[in-house]
Amino acid sequence: MMNEQPHSRPRIRQLDEAAINRIAAGEVVERPASAVKELVENALDARAKRIIIDIAGGGKTLIRVRDDGCGMSPDDLPLALARHATSKIDGSDLFNIQSFGFRGEALPSLGAVGRLTMTSRAAGFDAFEISVCGGEVSPIKPAALASGTRVELRDLFFATPARLKFMRTERTETQSIVDVVKRLAMACPYVGFELNEVSGDKSRMLLQVSAETGALLDGLRDRLARILGQAFSQNAVLVTAQRDGFDLSGYAALPTFSRGAGVMQYLFVNERPVRDKLLIGALRAAYSDFLSRDRHPAAVLFINCDPKVVDVNVHPAKSEVRFRDPGVLRGLIITALRHSLAGAGHRASSTVADGVLGAALPEKRPSSFSYQTNRPSGQAKAVNYQMQAPQFAQTQAVFARVEAAEEQQVDTPADHDTAEQFPLGAARGQVHENYIIAQTADGLVIVDQHAAHERLVYEKLKSQLQAEGVAGQALLIPEIIELSQEDCTGLLEHSKKLEELGLMIESFGAHSIAVRSTPALLGQTDVKELVLDVLDELKDQDHTQLVNDKIEAVLSRMACHGSVRSGRRLKGEEMNTLLRQMEATPHSGQCNHGRPTYVELKLADIERLFGRR
């Protein structure tokens, strides 16, 4: 029998510097937008007050970043292209990061996969330039630059052509760069940003915002209005709260301003844009009482804390973070957002009325055509009726009924002038047995009576629930559920909190738990499925919001069945009582599914519909 040839033993070898940099670039520079992010963050760390970004070919052909920061000396330029060389930290404390960059990997990584040229001038020095192409660094040489730094990156990934095959279209890559710059511009409202797309001799401006002035929250509001639009600014509420070393601030949009995807959720930790699952989950939980599952809230939230309680060194791209005490932060976000949304009272998004006007607005008439804008009095209208109407008995009877209807107003506890003082005005009628028409001082309000009353009943049920607690429904025979020892331990650690929500559990051996009671509001429920769902959530977020969500879903269904139904005729006092209750109840501007409960139209808008303006 022949002996098998032994396999050759693999040899361990040290990779060369170029290969090491290309591997690092795969982690740091995922796409052109990643390169823009790293270069702009370097400019911000250099205390720049104005940053100009030029791109071409979706960032694959050209990325140029110019800033007016402190610049670099000739001795610093070669070091900036060395791996793990940085001016941001000294290496003694990796948990006290107070700058955007700190790893010292971005510039050498970019130089390893592209053609990088960097020109800089620090105060007291002349300007110098250094280049690196595919990892090959050239000597520094004199250059022309007034101040600051200019970094030019051409032919990204030319040294790793396989990476180019995974790039998206130029339009997609450009949009990703715009999103990155927007996030950094929100994080730094006192810095001016300009983003241009160049093609040959032509240039198209994609984004431009000047440096803001004034107080921080005012400057942030103005910056958000310029980047996200006036609609977000007009329909967002201020959020400020502090707890256990965490400082939360920003703006959150009303539930009726929700989106079909999470495209308008911007989260920052110590001014660093992040995409963190914990923070997104907390934002979603804060709106869970107002939005259906297919709608997503819009918000811009800033979290400031001691750098030592958050780890930003989780991933080379620095877009993920890890908190030392995530439960405290999650509770702060949920509480602060719900408190701010409750402070908005019965407000609904102004875009609802804009949508109505957009749908109803007639075609524009020629500018030479105009209407009279005076409003005749009741007496003048009566004279007009008599002068213009044909003299037939039937027609006279119709006019008599019209005049009687004009004189007969809906019963209201206040006269016309007093009614105008109410935010939702005074009820003037009901149409199609579902919509209440109310008159305000400067317009009218259309209320969906069923949706509005459904929200009122729901909020009342929730208040009763909070006052009396969640009652548990004892099981005739405790249900035994087999789990792993780790899962049993995790559930039992939260047994007290679960008992407050009506779910009572206790140990039943090393691999089982006994369920003694479930929330009474849930009625007949699949106990095992409930426990497994709670367990999954505890593993994912370390909280027990799911049980609350299930209870609130039941309350929502109860409110729907107990509210005023569509098709019911209401008396004047009933309609006005509903309006007053809406004004006094938080979140009454939207139903339990996030849809608006009323639409407000200003008189000027109504006149515009009829061509009076």
Of 17-21, 55-59, 218-222, 332-336, the poorest mean pLDDT is in 17-21
Of 19-33, 42-56, 318-332, 584-598, the poorest mean pLDDT is in 19-33
pLDDT tens column, 71-105:
999 998 988 888 766 665 544 555 556 566 555 67
Confidence of residue 164 (pLDDT cuts 50, 70, 90): confident
User: If you average pLDDT over every residue of the chain, what do you get?
Assistant: 79
| Residue range(s) occupied by CATH 3.30.565.10 in the chain | 17-209
pLDDT at 384: 47
| Residue range(s) occupied by CATH 3.30.230.10 in the chain | 216-344
Q: What is the DSSP letter of 409?
A: P
Q: Using CA atoms of 586, 590, 596, 600 in order, give the dihedral in degrees to the nearest 10.
A: 0
pTM of whole model > 0.85? no
Which has more confidence, 340 or 609? 340
Of 24-38, 393-407, 408-422, 521-535, the poorest mean pLDDT is in 393-407
Confidence of residue 367 (pLDDT cuts 50, 70, 90): very low
Confidence of residue 598 (pLDDT cuts 50, 70, 90): confident
Which has more confidence, 385 or 68? 68
Question: What's the helix, strand, coil split of the chain in %, to 5?
Answer: 40, 20, 35
pLDDT at 424: 86
Q: Give alpha helix (H) positions in 323-448.
A: 326-343, 350-360, 378-388, 393-407, 416-419
CATH of the domain spanning 393-613: 3.30.1370.100
pLDDT tens column, 394-409:
444 544 544 554 444 4
Average pLDDT score over residue span 441-455: 85
pLDDT at 388: 43
d(CA 443, CA 604): 8
Average pLDDT score over residue span 276-296: 84
Confidence of residue 293 (pLDDT cuts 50, 70, 90): confident
**Percent of the chain at pLDDT above 70?**
73
Q: Which residue bears the tokens 């579902």?
A: 434
d(CA 30, CA 113): 11
Which has more confidence, 495 or 250? 250
pLDDT at 375: 47
Q: Which residues of 250-265 are buried (b: 16+ CB within 10 A; e: fewer)?
A: bbbbbbbbbeeeeebb
- Please count the CA atoms within 13 angstroms of the CA of 2 that sit on its side-chain side: 3
pLDDT at 366: 41
pLDDT tens column, 482-511:
999 888 988 898 888 788 778 899 999 888
pLDDT at 372: 40
Q: Give alpha helix (H) positions in 152-299.
A: 161-164, 170-187, 216-228, 230-234, 277-286
Architecture of domain 17-209: 2-Layer Sandwich (3.30)
Token duo for residue 373: 């804008």
pLDDT at 546: 61
Average pLDDT score over residue span 255-274: 88
pLDDT at 423: 81
pLDDT above 90: residue 68 = yes
| Residue range(s) occupied by CATH 3.30.1370.100 in the chain | 393-613
pLDDT tens column, 473-484:
899 899 999 999
d(CA 485, CA 248): 38
Q: Which long-range contacts (CB under 8 A, 24 or more apart) does 133-142 make?
A: 134/18, 134/158, 134/159, 135/17, 135/18, 135/21, 135/22, 135/111, 135/159, 137/78, 137/81, 137/111, 140/74, 140/77, 140/78
User: How far is C-alpha 264 from the chain's CA centre?
Assistant: 4
Average pLDDT score over residue span 209-232: 91
Which has more confidence, 59 or 395? 59
pLDDT at 179: 95
- The answer to whether 50 touches 65, Cβ cutoff 8 Å, is no
pLDDT at 373: 41
pLDDT at 343: 79
Which has more confidence, 311 or 382? 311
pLDDT at 257: 87
Sign of the C-alpha dihedral computed for residues 583, 589, 593 and 599 taken in this order: positive
- The answer to whether 112 touches 24, Cβ cutoff 8 Å, is yes
pLDDT at 393: 47
**Percent of the chain at pLDDT above 90?**
31
Architecture of domain 216-344: 2-Layer Sandwich (3.30)
Q: What is the DSSP letter of 291?
A: S
